[in-house]
């Protein structure tokens, strides 16, 4: 049985692994980018290490940083979750080379099932029945038409990599344009967490995710909602933590502009005259103190990232196994 598992993922995926580990009394290590500092998987893991900036290629897809995080926390194994590096044969191999048990298939298995063309070839060689179709990746629309004529229409064109239905095209008869369908199928789905996907999200205009009413701005103060309940239960540890940081509950009488919007909400804090809506308590903090708090957490994240970087010397191969182990106090 493992004593400590590092989870090379984030969000709801990481939370599922954390819950399973807690049920088995296994310690967990969460990794996170600087953008995910307040994510739930960071809160619920036994340890958490910031491994890089928001871009996935510099954090959740950065193999040397993940291995380094495992080294400095003395993890026994690495669980990739799904998405990100879970289907990377290289990652599985590097984990083994650096003394970590990769919780997933070995590199050869991943390679043999890594894309649809190779997977089909693997299944055929093992005697597993497969659906009719081409024996490999199509070289051109002409080849696609020849195979389709032999099989009979309709046919389905699929991208060899990716998933989620991206790149699939139905061709009902030979009069439909196979060329454009083949071209579309060659557009492989963007992997989960890549920069192009993030760019789409980051370029969108910001909206309050919970649509909670915002108070009128006040000079010298910063406002935010803090979580008071989780899964229907009071989250007193989170409330206490935020109060220790310096957040002050806002009085309803000080914000009459929100009165109409919170009339229908009944809760413990609302009954005390504070503004709580849907398990979120409106709080405030002096702007200077909030600035100092943010700077503290930025410095802490930077220190963790530097610790990860220090495991690997910059003038050496970043993927070489290291005998150095660093403890984070």
Residue 16 shares a structural domain with residue 97: yes
Q: Is the pLDDT of residue 149 over 50?
A: yes
Least confident of 77-81, 144-148, 190-194, 265-269: 190-194
Residue 168, both tokens: 């699939």
- What's the pLDDT score for residue 311? 59
* Residue 122 in this model has a pLDDT that exceeds 70: yes
Residue 199 belongs to a domain: no
Amino acid 313: pLDDT: 42
pLDDT at 116: 82
Find, among 26, 64, 30, the residue nearest to 50 by Cα.
Answer: 30
The helix/strand/coil state of 201 is helix
- Give the residue, 50 or 117, on which the prediction is more confident: 50
Number of domains in the chain: 3
Average pLDDT over residues 58-79: 93
Three-state secondary structure along 8-37?
CCCHHHHHHHHHHHHHCCCEEEEEEEHHHC
Question: How far is Cα of residue 154 from the mean position of the Cα atoms in its chain?
Answer: 38
- 284 vs 214, 231, 290, CA distance in Å? 12, 25, 9
- Residue among 8, 33, 13 nearest 102 (CA): 8
DSSP character for 49? E
In order of 212, 277, 296, the CA distances from 287 in angstroms are 21, 23, 14
Tokens encoding 288: 């200077």
Residue 144 lies in a domain: yes
Inside any domain, residue 179: yes
- Same domain assignment for residues 106 and 12: yes
Find, among 118, 94, 92, 117, the residue nearest to 106 by Cα: 92
CATH of the domain at 35: 3.40.50.20
d(CA 228, CA 279): 5
Range of the domain at 176: 121-185
Mean pLDDT of the region 285-308: 83
Residue 214 lies in a domain: no
Q: What angle do CA 168, 137, 170 make, to 5 degrees?
A: 25
Whether residue 11 sits in one domain with residue 105: yes
Mean pLDDT of all residues in 130-134: 82
Domain for residue 210, yes or no? no
**Between residues 164 and 199, which one has the greater pLDDT?**
164
In the prediction, which pLDDT does 238 show?
Answer: 85
Task: Report the pLDDT averaged over residues 19-29.
Answer: 93
Is residue 125 situated within a structural domain? yes
Within this chain, do residues 10 and 107 fall inside the same structural domain, yes or no? Answer: yes
What is the pTM assigned to this prediction?
0.55
Q: Judge whether 85 and 8 are in contact, CB under 8 Å.
A: yes
Q: What percent of the chain has pLDDT over 90?
A: 31
Closest to 182 in 3D by CA, of 155, 162, 163: 155
Residues 99 and 125 in one domain: no
Highest mean pLDDT among 94-108, 130-144, 155-169: 94-108
> Are 241 and 168 in the same domain?
no
The answer, yes or no, to whether residue 252 has pLDDT greater than 90, is no
56 alpha-carbon distance from chain centroid: 9
């Amino acid at each position: 049985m493992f004593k400590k598992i590092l989870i090379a993922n984030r969000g709801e995926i990481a939370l599922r692994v954390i819950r399973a580990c807690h049920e088995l009394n296994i310690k967990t290590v969460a990794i996170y980018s600087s953008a995910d500092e307040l994510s739930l998987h960071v809160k619920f893991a036994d340890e958490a290490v910031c491994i890089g900036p928001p871009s996935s290629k510099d954090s959740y897809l950065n193999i040397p940083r993940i291995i380094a995080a495992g080294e400095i926390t003395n993890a026994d194994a690495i669980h990739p979750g799904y998405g990100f590096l879970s289907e990377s044969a290289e990652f599985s191999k590097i984990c083994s080379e650096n003394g970590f048990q990769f919780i997933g298939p070995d590199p050869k298995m991943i390679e043999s099932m890594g894309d649809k063309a190779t997977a089909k070839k693997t299944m055929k060689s093992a005697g597993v029945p497969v659906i009719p179709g081409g024996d490999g990746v199509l070289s051109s629309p002409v080849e696609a038409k020849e195979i389709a004529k032999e099989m009979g229409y309709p046919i389905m064109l699929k991208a060899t990599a990716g998933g989620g239905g991206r790149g699939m095209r139905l061709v009902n008869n030979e009069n439909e344009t196979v060329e454009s369908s083949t071209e579309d199928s060659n557009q492989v789905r963007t992997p989960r967490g890549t920069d192009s996907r993030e760019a789409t999200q980051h370029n969108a205009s910001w909206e309050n995710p919970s649509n909670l009413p915002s108070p009128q701005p006040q000079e010298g103060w910063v406002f935010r909602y803090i979580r008071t309940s989780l899964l229907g239960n009071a989250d007193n540890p989170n409330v206490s933590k935020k109060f220790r940081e310096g957040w002050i509950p806002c009085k309803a009488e000080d914000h009459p502009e929100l009165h109409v919007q919170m009339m229908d909400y009944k809760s413990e804090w609302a009954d005390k005259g504070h503004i709580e809506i849907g398990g979120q308590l409106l709080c405030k903090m002096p702007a200077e103190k909030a600035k100092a708090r943010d700077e503290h957490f930025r410095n802490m994240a930077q220190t963790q990232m530097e610790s990860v970087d220090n495991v690997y010397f910059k003038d050496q191969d970043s993927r070489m196994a290291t005998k150095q182990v660093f403890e984070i106090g």
